[in-house]
Structure 1
Amino acid sequence: MQLNQVIIVHKARDPYSKMWAEKCARQLEKRNCRVLLGPSGAKDNPYPVFLASGMQNIDLAVVLGGDGGALAAARHLAPEGIPILSVNVGGHLGFLTEPFDEFKDTEEIWDRLLEDRYAIQRRMMVQASVFEGDRINVEPVSDCYLALNEICVKPASADRMITSILEMEIDGEIVDQYQGDGLIVATPTGSTCYTLSANGPILHDGMEAIVVTPICPLSLSSRSLVLPSGSVVSIWPLGDYELNTKLWMDGVLGTAIWPGQRVDVRMADCHAKFIILRENNSYYQTLREKLQWAGARIRYDNNHRN
């Protein structure tokens, strides 16, 4: 990997993350690397400016924060094919980040990257667009929204909790109507986030598949569906007379959905690229640690291993 121009993003309003970002910037600048430095958060989005002002190709994005920062970086940088080194500095759960212990010797990290001593993990993403009416209208009336975790269609209101009525099609065939808090259309990466909290299945993040999970449905027969990655999930809001239905991407508001419109969700044309520094990177170890799996309350010795 070359390090001619690098993005460094730190968690907004987090002094510790900012300190490490500035340290990394100084080190890279001494190596004749042009650095684009800025905060990322709910009210801070540096990526459009960085991508527009880049005088040359961006070789790497270093994201210092938590999972939210990694998700934002993936949405903006995946279409450009920019690899992301996401490190848990000031974050909480850290499903998508490298442990901070792997990053402390930053000078060694730059040497490893220059010598290609790392791995890249490609993660599937989903994209969504809003269309008017039936499938005769093939031109979207909205932007294309990318998500690494999930696209969610659910209502939002400032003064009350709203039950939504949504009809779902898969590849043009009506599957079911849901009455409840909304629908989640997730990737395998997102299966351990909002989908998991809604009783959805856990999918290995190396898979390519789509998971559709209803949120608190008013029916015991409504269950999650795991679909092939080539499926197109269409969601129609029904009975929304107050225009409360919204499209969300990784928990960020995308757009409002009007009556007579539908949302089409499918596998994205691009993948997020995450740099892996750990030599023994294990998905199952991540599950054990992050989800705090403890097993049975009574522990038994497995003597058959010997």
Structure 2
Amino acid sequence: MSYSGGAAVVAEDVRKSYGDVRAVDGVSFAVSEGEFFGILGPNGAGKTTILEIVEGLREPDSGSVRLLGESPWPRKLSLLPRIGVQLQASSFFEKLTAREQLETFGSLYGVGAATAHEMLELVGLADKADTREDRLSGGQRQRLSIACALVHDPDVVFLDEPTAALDPQARRNLWDVLRAIQQRGKTIVYTTHYLDEAEILCDRVAIMDHGRILALDAPATLVRGLEAPTRVLLERGALPPDTARELPGADEVVTDEVSLTISTREPGKVLSALAELGSLDGLQVRTATLEDVFLQLTGREYRA
């Protein structure tokens, strides 16, 4: 089956409201085959809703979606074997081991036991094959959930906050799994609250808020477009604030109980001057990140 322009997903002016709440308000984007595409946004931004519309789990009020060249709504049986879905809350069959879970999911698509074992290898659970799902750790359950979404070898994989509630070690382990999935030629569309993760993994990201896409591009391109200053941090007392303000290239100097921070758009000049003064010990250089872009677009107010 062919679809135009190498696009695995195309959404055009998609809208979805619940009463007076516009959960998705005119969203448009396209995801290329083999792309790792992230949808970012604060709580209530509309991330999960647009994902569910693209997956065919919800009907949009208006607009159009093409998934692998077809409309996902009403649900099309021809599309189901070609997509894999991992939701925020995963449900498993009770009292089955990791291997039995995958074999059961696979059997729904006519997939044999050998493929189920291959998926366990891919997500690093081969040594837990005979462990019941309810005895796996949180990170292991997340990996099993992703394996279930992949067991039938889909073309497009949808992951809704796959690393939520994981400890740092488990989260980074799962990054390796996600990279391995993409290396197999799969298209990945996912949501996350972890901006560092999206910056590392995604080819492009869409930043959403109040049901709309505020920015869409490669993470590095969005960061460059922010034109934020570089921050040079020194330990408090390493340099008098007045001396720091006189450094070539220094735009602003701020001190607190721990450090002295120099903001600059010419970091080379500042660093050269600090080197001449012998003030490089404990120095840190921080450039803008995707988190800075996110906060500029969506604000810093906490949302539960």
TM exceeds 0.5? no
Query: Normalization by structure 1: what TM-score?
Result: 0.25
Instruction: Report the TM-score, using the length of structure 2 for normalisation.
Output: 0.25
Richer in helix (by share): 2
Structure with the greater alpha carbon radius of gyration: 2
